[in-house]
Amino acid sequence: MSVVAVRHGAVTYGGRHVLRDVSFEVATGQVVAILGANGSGKSTLVRTILGLVPLAGGEIDLFGTPRARFRTWARIGYVPQRIGAGSGVPATVGEVVASGRLARRGIFRPARAADRDAVRAALEDVGLLDRINDPVTTLSGGQQQRTLIARALAGRPDLLVLDEPTAGVDAASQEAFAAVLGRFAERGGTILLVAHELGPLEPLIDKAVVVHDGRIAYEGRVPEPAGHHAAPGHDHVHPHAEPERPAICVAPTDRLPAN
């Protein structure tokens, strides 16, 4: 059975076609990476799958149920690109991760021992259990990202959806990330992630879907990096002089920080 199925999906934003005729599937237990340049529509694609962006045409099924009728959101663990607005009000790592239990326990039932255990287990998994009572603002960027993964894991989901989990994250945290995702996949979990550079995540990926200009340009094994992209430690700030293989080539702006 497919965990995510998109058929002829289309998204328009202010009259502009952001996604057109997108079809692909994520099977149970698969680790799928959506690749593409900034502005290619790859983030929009996962946000549409999650219901954060309205679908202008086509269909999306989650766990075999049309998205409009899908209610078992606890089966999905979402890891956004960065920690929420994070205003001045302090919140501990434990409090943020505990939000991940709400999909399971509902909003009226107070937290029980099982909820607290799940929070601790998730933090243990990402290696941040010793920071459970620290304010999230005292964590490094990579540690904050791991907090968000722990929040998603705390709900014991079947599918993890990650939006650029390694963007702007230090190398040590990227390795920690890959290890956490590897363990999740080993337990039979399904992963759908958006990235423009896989780094240490690459060995985990079963299937790559490359989005270019709102369409799926490639679907299959992770494409081999070509030209300058193959060089270790390269950063994509150089303009691409010669056209490289369009399915893999990403626009020169894709290394600009997101903010």
CA–CA dist 116, 26 (Å, integer): 31
Q: Residue 137 Cβ, how far from other proteins at the closest point, in Å?
A: 10
**Residue 254: which residues within 8 A CB-CB, separation 6 or more?**
37, 38, 196, 236
Q: What letter would DSSP give residue 135? A: B
* Helix (H) / strand (E) containing 113: helix 113-126
Tokens of 215: 């369409």
Among 29, 86, 200, 223, binds other proteins (CB under 8 A): 86
Residue in this structure with the two tokens 């490359």, named with its chain if needed: 210
Stretch that binds other proteins, among 21-29, 70-78, 180-188, 195-203 (CB under 8 A): 70-78
Q: Which is nearer to other proteins, 94 or 189 (CB)?
A: 94
Q: What letter would DSSP give residue 64? A: T
Question: CA-based Rg of the chain, rounded to a whole angstrom?
Answer: 18
| Residue 173 near other proteins by CB under 8 A | yes
| Residue 155 near other proteins by CB under 8 A | yes
Stretch that binds other proteins, among 100-108, 184-192, 221-229, 242-250 (CB under 8 A): 100-108
Interface residues with other proteins (CB under 8 A) are: 50-52, 71-74, 76, 78, 80, 83-92, 94-96, 98-100, 102-103, 107-108, 111, 127-128, 130-131, 133-135, 139-140, 142-143, 151, 155, 161, 170, 172-173, 176
